[in-house]
């Protein structure tokens, strides 16, 4: 277990910033406690200082996980976000997309969301922007997260 | 008068003497204990006047110190003296006080391999004589060491054994065997030493020239040999097609696990700030698209006006109607084609358009 190097932190922040933008500093600097990112077996964990101190007592080969896993670094040092990060990213997301109940199941099973399945979308979402997908009940969903057409295109076809 | 002055002088001299004596004689209830070898004087008198601490104690302490030092010096003056280079030197006796250890007690050394074995088997060292009778020289020689009794390397005549090669040098063979024994002994000694100090020997694991080494072993031996120079291999040239050795870089160093959390947070926030500052505030594609859209709308409005002016008599609504449908669809995706009129006036913006300069090809969707 070790802290991230400068390079690794930068790569990870760039990835996360695609979804939450400047709100990332709210994750780094929290008013209710010191939270930090630690690397263990190529996975990045977001963990509070208290839990980190406890986890340090476990030997490295026996430690499975600590805190929340945000994602992992692949063999070629690219950062891949995991679904366990959704709980932390969803509240800070800049661009959100709500999908209708019918399209929700299809999306969860890995299919694309068509225009017809789109319920709401944040204004000014640009093309290829990273978004967080919600169901109509405001529950963040898991799936691929990139917008193909912009808000304007979608709005024009809505009417 | 003179008598008086003489008497006075004598009295004065006596008084001076008495003062001096007073100064050098110190009265103590208990005698001090002296250890002149260590220049030590121990005063066992109870310090009655020094019970209460305070700034006034300075004078009393100083007086006490002066008295004790005076007594010590008195003792020193009674020692036998020497003259060393025009200085009078007192010869100090042996110190009687036993001083405590300066360094801690040495911990017991681990047993060597032989000692462990002997202990296991119950072998006791046999008492041997130091000198052995040497028949050849007719002398008593020592058992081992310089000019020992039976030194087979010093023989002047060696019989060639029946099964040996007649061309072999038996003398050289014996000298070689001796060297090997010495080297083995040295190795074992170092190993015992390393075990005692819990250090690791610089191991030559698997790098003994046997003549039957595999490619990997030879490679490893070569790499080690390359690094075994005074400059640790920095100026060793490589063969023309030789590749650099793998894994020879420095080990990476990471921040400690619980470093300064505040500092970590600060550096991360700083990184975020830099990242945000690098992102352009103006999204160029959106700005250009917006600009294009506005211009398209203006053009469309102008065309409509012209057509309305020109065809007012005809009262045609068709083109007008079509044109009304035009602008909203123009506001859509612009990345595809262009209107022909767009080419001329705006070369600066055209860099951002993906479609290129098609004339009337793919129009707006």
Q: Please tell me the predicted confidence (pLDDT) of residue B339.
A: 43
Nearest to A13 among B254, B261, B271 (CB): B271
DSSP letter string, B283-319: -HHHHHHHHHHHHHHHHHHHHHHHHHHHTTTTT--HH
Nearest to B268 among A9, A14, A52 (CB): A9
**Statement: residue A112 has pLDDT above 70:** yes
Nearest to B259 among A3, A6, A13 (CB): A3
* CA of B292 vs chain A CAs: smallest distance (Å): 15
Q: Where are the domains of chain B?
A: 6-90
What are the tokens at B343?
A: 């080419």
Mutate to test the interface with B, among A9, A49, A54 (most CBs of B within 10 A): A9
Contacting residues of A for B283, CB less than 8 Å apart: 126
Hey, what CATH class is A95-153 in?
mainly beta
In CATH, the number for domain A2-88 is: 3.10.450.220
Contacting residues of A for B276, CB less than 8 Å apart: 22
Q: How many CB atoms lie within 10 A of CB A5?
A: 14
Contacting residues of B for A17, CB less than 8 Å apart: 272, 275
The answer to whether the beta carbons of residues A133 and A117 sit under 8 Å apart is no
Q: Which residue has the higher pLDDT, A156 or B19?
A: B19
Q: Please tell me the predicted confidence (pLDDT) of residue B54.
A: 65
* CA of A9 vs chain B CAs: smallest distance (Å): 8
Q: Please tell me the predicted confidence (pLDDT) of residue B314.
A: 56
Average the pLDDT over B148-177 and give the result. Answer: 90
**Statement: residue A153 has pLDDT above 60:** no
Average pLDDT, chain A: 86
Average the pLDDT over B300-325 and give the result. Answer: 67
Consecutive H or E run containing B131: strand B131-134
Contacting residues of A for B326, CB less than 8 Å apart: none
Interface residues of chain B, partner chain A, Cβ below 8 Å: 254-259, 261, 264-265, 268-269, 271-272, 275-276, 283, 285-286, 328-329, 331-333
Q: Please tell me the predicted confidence (pLDDT) of residue B58.
A: 82
A140 Cβ partners below 8 Å, 6+ apart?
A: A86, A87, A89, A90, A93, A132, A133, A134
- A25/B contact by beta carbon, under 8 A: yes
**Statement: residue B61 has pLDDT above 80:** yes
CA–CA separation, A130 and A125 (whole Å) = 9
Average the pLDDT over A68-78 and give the result. Answer: 95
* A17·B331 Cβ contact <8 A: no
Q: Which residues belong to CATH 3.10.450.220 in chain A?
A: 2-88
DSSP letter string, B148-195: BS--GGG-S--PPPTTS-TTS-HHHHHHHHHHHHHHHHHHHHHHHHHH
CA–CA separation, A156 and A115 (whole Å) = 11
Nearest to A156 among B258, B265, B328 (CB): B328
Sign of CA dihedral A104, A106, A107, A109: positive
Contacting residues of B for A50, CB less than 8 Å apart: none
Q: Which residue of A has its CA nearest to B269?
A: A25
* A25·B333 Cβ contact <8 A: no
In which band, very low, low, confident or very high, does the pLDDT at B123 lie, cut at 50, 70 and 90?
A: very high
B36 Cβ partners below 8 Å, 6+ apart?
A: B75, B76, B79, B92, B93
Contacting residues of A for B285, CB less than 8 Å apart: 126
Nearest to B269 among A3, A25, A38 (CB): A25
The SS3 call for residue A58 is coil
Average pLDDT, chain B: 80
Average the pLDDT over A115-136 and give the result. Answer: 86
pLDDT in tens, B223-264: 888 888 999 888 988 899 988 877 777 888 888 988 889 999
What are the tokens at B225?
A: 């040999």
* CA of B252 vs chain A CAs: smallest distance (Å): 10
**Statement: residue B45 has pLDDT above 80:** yes
Whole-prediction pTM value?
0.45
Nearest to A17 among B258, B264, B275 (CB): B275
Q: How many CB atoms lie within 10 A of CB B184?
A: 10
Sign of CA dihedral B80, B83, B88, B94: negative
Classify the complex by whether its ipTM is higher than 0.95, answering yes or no.
no
CA distances from B299 to A90, B89, B188, B245, B260 (A): 43, 118, 98, 68, 62
**Statement: residue B325 has pLDDT above 50:** no
A125 Cβ partners below 8 Å, 6+ apart?
A: A95, A97, A131, A147, A150, A151
The answer to whether the beta carbons of residues B196 and B109 sit under 8 Å apart is yes
Q: How many CB atoms lie within 10 A of CB A66?
A: 20
The answer to whether the beta carbons of residues B154 and B178 sit under 8 Å apart is no
**Statement: residue B56 has pLDDT above 80:** no
The SS3 call for residue B199 is coil
* A29·B275 Cβ contact <8 A: no
């Amino acid at each position: 277990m070790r802290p991230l190097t400068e390079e690794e932190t930068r790569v990870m922040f760039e990835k996360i910033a695609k979804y939450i933008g400047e709100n990332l500093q709210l994750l780094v600097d929290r008013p209710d406690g010191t939270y930090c990112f630690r690397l263990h077996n190529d996975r990045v964990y977001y963990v509070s200082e208290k839990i980190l101190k406890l986890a340090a007592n476990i030997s490295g080969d026996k430690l499975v996980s600590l805190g929340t896993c945000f994602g992992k670094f692949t063999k070629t040092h690219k950062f891949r976000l995991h679904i366990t990060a959704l709980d932390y990213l969803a509240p800070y997301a800049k661009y959100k997309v709500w999908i209708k109940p019918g399209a929700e199941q299809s999306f969860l099973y890995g299919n694309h969301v068509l225009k017809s399945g789109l319920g709401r979308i944040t204004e000014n979402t640009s093309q290829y922007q990273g978004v967080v997908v919600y169901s109509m009940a405001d529950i963040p969903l898991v799936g691929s997260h990139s917008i193909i057409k912009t808000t304007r295109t979608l709005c024009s076809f809505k009417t | 008068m003179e008598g008086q002055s003489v008497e006075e002088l004598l009295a004065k001299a006596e008084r001076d003497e008495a003062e001096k004596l007073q100064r050098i004689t110190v009265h103590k209830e208990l005698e001090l204990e002296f250890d002149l070898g260590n220049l030590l004087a121990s005063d066992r008198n109870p310090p009655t006047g020094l019970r209460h601490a305070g700034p006034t104690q300075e004078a009393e302490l100083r007086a006490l110190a002066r008295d004790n030092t005076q007594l010590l010096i008195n003792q020193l003056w009674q020692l036998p003296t020497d003259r060393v280079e025009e200085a009078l030197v007192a010869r100090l006796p042996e110190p009687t006080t036993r001083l405590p250890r300066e360094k801690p007690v040495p911990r017991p050394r681990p047993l060597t391999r032989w000692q462990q074995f002997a202990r296991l088997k119950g072998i006791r060292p046999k008492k041997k004589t130091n000198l052995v009778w040497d028949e050849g020289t007719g002398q008593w020689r020592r058992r081992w060491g310089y000019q020992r009794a039976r030194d087979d390397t010093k023989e002047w005549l060696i019989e060639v054994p029946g099964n040996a090669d007649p061309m072999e040098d038996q003398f050289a063979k014996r000298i070689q065997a001796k060297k090997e024994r010495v080297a083995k002994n040295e190795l074992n000694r170092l190993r015992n030493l390393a075990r005692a100090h819990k250090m690791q020997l610089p191991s030559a694991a698997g790098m003994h020239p046997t003549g039957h080494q595999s490619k990997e072993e030879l490679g490893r031996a070569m790499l080690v040999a390359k690094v075994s120079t005074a400059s640790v291999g920095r100026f060793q040239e490589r063969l023309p097609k030789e590749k650099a050795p793998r894994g020879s870089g420095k080990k990476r160093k990471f921040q400690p696990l619980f470093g300064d959390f505040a500092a970590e947070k600060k550096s991360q926030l700083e990184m975020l700030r830099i990242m945000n500052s690098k992102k352009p505030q103006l999204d160029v594609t959106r700005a250009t698209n917006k600009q294009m859209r506005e211009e398209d709308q203006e053009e469309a409005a102008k065309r409509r006006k012209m057509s309305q002016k020109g065809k007012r008599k005809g009262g045609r609504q068709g083109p007008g109607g079509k044109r009304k449908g035009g602008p909203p669809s123009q506001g859509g995706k612009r990345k595809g084609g262009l209107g022909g009129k767009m080419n001329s006036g705006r070369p600066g913006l055209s860099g951002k358009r993906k479609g290129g300069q098609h004339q009337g090809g793919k129009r707006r969707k």
